[in-house]
Structure 1
Amino acid sequence: MEHASHGPDPVRRHALRALLAAAGAGALPARLRAAIPAPAPACPGPWREWQAFVARHVEQDGRVVDFANPDLRSTSESQSYGLFFALVDNDQLLFERILAWTRRHLSGGRADLNLPAWLWGRAGDGSWRVLDPNTAADGELWIAYALLEAGRLWNRPGFTAAGRQVLALMRKAEVVDLPGFGTMLLPGNRGFAHGDSWTLNPCYLPLFAFRRFALADPKGPWAKLAERSVALLRQAAPNGFAPDWIRWNGRAFVTDPDKGPMGSYDAIRTYLWAGITHPADPLRKPLLEALSGPLRMLRAQGAFAEKVDVRNGVGIGTPPPGFAAALLPYLAAHGQGTLVRAQATLVPASGAAADSLPYYDRCLVLFGKGWVDRRYRIAADGRLQPAWSTPCSAKR
């Protein structure tokens, strides 16, 4: 594949760089220095972390398995993440296998009519089946996102149509208007509305996904959800730490009485999603400002915590390696290169430590380290930019 050339040709670029090296940057006129383009970032090589994940967690039929529980479960989340990572890795065959399993087992073979059940695995009687038919908006959201972007990047209109269908089902089952607050996405279609209050999950609300959905479904609620998702975090995280769960009582966000005030294994993704949001998104700055807690904690203590009481910002416990990986884009977004490097040392790259990581930590590594390694970016309008869709693709 050839790419249009802009600016000096390669021979001239080489000569200019040699001249700059010989003379020193300050010895050349500004016009000449401006003609020397910055070196492009290195294209990533084979994605070893993803290859290890597939070998451990993805079965031949496309089921993505979380071995941490006795039921050897698969979830709409695990399937959705598998779709996204397969797309980032440009693996259409694996994408199709994961999608087929999801449709057959979680949507009852009718993905056009049914949102996926969130939990499938081995029941107490030894049978393999749906264990909880309730839905989970985060899994559906990532399935819709992966389908829309697979349709666009691979020129597969059927995937695009399927992504829009998932959005239509979500609109009908899970998008509500909260009195006194506005448009919001419930975590699932049952169990989160309590008459005069509603339980919500901030990590189910990635800003960039709503930007992408607004392109695909401009008459839908997605642009409003983008704005409301940031408004939620600005109100629900007064100390800069996202809660795992929060409740809206019609007047304010309060601690959910069933879930408690902690931010931990769910909330860590809130910082991750904020970090990979494009700098040109006008809501990124207020989003990062609302989530200032981890940065303050790392500056003050040099370490993050496994659990944080969001009411006072007090943390306890040593977090798993996946937390460090999830914080990499967040810290990069804050311009904290030293902290990025420090957290990166906590993420095992290979060997027994990397091999022993459980499903969830591996997912956080794939998202966080994958972004740092430039395997993908998210555009300001929410579109995915995998490395293979850039000039890096010409070098493969």
Structure 2
Amino acid sequence: MHKPSHSLLHRRHWLQWVGASAALSAVPGSQAASSTAVEASWPRFAQQFMQADGRVVSDDGKLSLTYSEGQSYALFFALVANDRRRFDTLLHWTRDNLSQGDLGQHLPAWLWGRQDDGAWGVIDSNSASDADLWIAYTLLQAGRLWRYRPYTAQGRTLAALIWQKEVAQLPGLGPSLLPGAQGFVQQPGQRWRLNPSYLPLQVLQALALEMQEPGWQQLADASLDLLVRSAPAGISPDWTLYDSQLGFLTDETDTEAQGRGGYNAIRTYLWAGMLHPQAPGRAQLLRTLAPMAAIVERDQAPPEYIHPRTLEISGPGPSGFSAAMMPFLQAQGASRALDAQRQRLQAQPLRPTAYYEQCLALFGQGWMRKDYAFTPQGQLQLPWYKA
């Protein structure tokens, strides 16, 4: 059986990422900046983390690693900023180096960098399905917004490959997105390891709209079910186990994590907060996750780690967590907690080279300032687009 190195290393690089990141010049939610958040911050992000050839380099211990997720987020930010030159550069590097030159035939390898023999290339060829979803989604939106059919074609072929290699039929749940193509089936036909933060509902709804196949809508519906059922106390975990007989279980696969919610799960709240008010499942999901808003209001900061069942907390999260939490707090109507995160970001700016915090802030502050939005069906809305 393929060793599930993606799932274990993935958690480690979250922990490495947050040790390092450059303060964005504008505070999320502030009304002072004259340009939009992404317009102001994207060029600095690209200068800090993107090479001229289109590779996004994380600064995790100066290992110069590249993750497919970093490529996917950068593609999205380039589209939001209407930066087609960088978009194409990112796309070409991703296709040629992570997908063996063909996104329709090979899912992107999730980890690239210096190999043991000193050569540069793929370190782990397993995929990361969240990155794959964002790449397919962004290509489809780019094809529509920039009116360029080759992007649309690439997005559709990648989506078809995702369905073929990363979606499994789980008894009692339905079609479900595995975190990668290999290594996440613990007991064939009975138990799987899943990641709720890999399931932005707006992305899944948009893929269902674009692909026009019943399976994609079923996947979106099952993903909402997963998000709700894996958070029985209103707290989303980084990782969860689904058992066809026992339902959702606390993930004890890695003793370091112990099923807690932390650097992965912060995105579950971010994606939920950015859903359109009329998006299917939004009200149910916000009701389910409402306890996290209450915890943030009580503690004046999102927790770094919180156990989804015992609610045991391990300290406040980094400032990037506050930026990510803002759309969610606004959607919950938690104005005092929202104001507290603005104040926290002013008092504790993002750190100089923390790649992951920068990504969270670009998503969070961009949405708060209306640099982008999603329709009820998940399509991307951008102020520069003229129909």
- Tell me the amino acid that sits aligned with residue 87 of structure 2: F
**Alpha-carbon distance in 2 for matches of 1:54, 1:234:** 35
Corresponding residue for residue 300 of structure 1: 298
Corresponding residue for residue 233 of structure 1: 227
Corresponding residue for residue 16 of structure 2: none
The 3 A distance-change label for structure 1 pair 220 and 73 is: farther
Does the alignment pair 1:253 with 2:255? no
Does the alignment pair 1:212 with 2:210? no
**Alpha-carbon distance in 2 for matches of 1:106, 1:202:** 24
Match for residue 323 of structure 2 among 306, 322, 325: 325
How do 1:128-207 residues align onto structure 2 when only pairs under 5 Å count?
A: 128-194=120-186, 195=188, 196-207=190-201
- Tell me the amino acid that sits aligned with residue 269 of structure 2: Y
**Alpha-carbon distance in 1 for matches of 2:102, 2:370:** 36
Summarize deviations over 1:352-389 as a string: whole Å, max 9, x none: 94461410000000000111111110111110012212
Structure 1 position 390, deviation (Å)? 6.3
Match for residue 375 of structure 1 among 361, 371, 374: 371
CA contact (8 A) 1:347 1:365 kept: no
CA contact (8 A) 2:136 2:159 kept: yes
- Tell me the amino acid that sits aligned with residue 262 of structure 2: S
| Bigger relative contact order (CA 8 A; separation at least 6) | 2
- Tell me the amino acid that sits aligned with residue 307 of structure 2: D
Structure 1 position 249, deviation (Å)? 1.1
SS for the counterpart of 1:242 is coil
- Tell me the amino acid that sits aligned with residue 258 of structure 1: T
Unaligned runs of 5+ in 1: 1-41, 392-396
The 3 A distance-change label for structure 1 pair 296 and 46 is: closer
SS for the counterpart of 1:248 is strand
SS for the counterpart of 2:202 is helix
Structure 1 position 293, deviation (Å)? 2.5
Match for residue 272 of structure 2 among 260, 271, 274: 274
Corresponding residue for residue 13 of structure 1: none
**Alpha-carbon distance in 1 for matches of 2:219, 2:63:** 34
Structure 1 position 222, deviation (Å)? 1.7
CA contact (8 A) 2:301 2:322 kept: no
Match for residue 60 of structure 1 among 52, 56, 68: 52
- Tell me the amino acid that sits aligned with residue 376 of structure 2: A
Deviating more after overlay: 207-216 vs 221-230:
221-230
TM-score by length of 2: 0.86
Deviating more after overlay: 212-221 vs 142-151:
212-221
Corresponding residue for residue 112 of structure 2: 120
Corresponding residue for residue 340 of structure 2: 342
**Alpha-carbon distance in 1 for matches of 2:128, 2:61:** 18
CA contact (8 A) 1:71 1:123 kept: no
| Count of paired positions | 348
The 3 A distance-change label for structure 1 pair 348 and 303 is: closer
Match for residue 387 of structure 1 among 367, 379, 383: 383
CA contact (8 A) 2:238 2:260 kept: yes
SS for the counterpart of 2:344 is coil
SS for the counterpart of 1:47 is helix
CA contact (8 A) 1:278 1:379 kept: yes
What RMSD in Å do the two structures reach over aligned CA positions? 1.8
**Alpha-carbon distance in 2 for matches of 1:348, 1:111:** 41
Summarize deviations over 1:189-218 as a string: whole Å, max 9, x none: 100012221000000111001110011111
The 3 A distance-change label for structure 1 pair 99 and 285 is: same
- Tell me the amino acid that sits aligned with residue 112 of structure 1: G
Taking only the aligned residue pairs, the percentage that are identical comes to 42
Structure 1 position 124, deviation (Å)? 2.6
**Alpha-carbon distance in 2 for matches of 1:253, 1:105:** 36
CA contact (8 A) 2:270 2:364 kept: yes
**Alpha-carbon distance in 1 for matches of 2:286, 2:216:** 20
Summarize deviations over 1:322-365 as a string: whole Å, max 9, x none: 1000001001111223322221223359xx94461410000000
CA contact (8 A) 2:111 2:122 kept: yes
Corresponding residue for residue 94 of structure 1: 86
Structure 1 position 303, deviation (Å)? 2.6
**Alpha-carbon distance in 2 for matches of 1:45, 1:287:** 27
CA contact (8 A) 2:37 2:371 kept: no
Structure 1 position 173, deviation (Å)? 0.3
Does the alignment pair 1:73 with 2:70? no
CA contact (8 A) 1:74 1:119 kept: yes
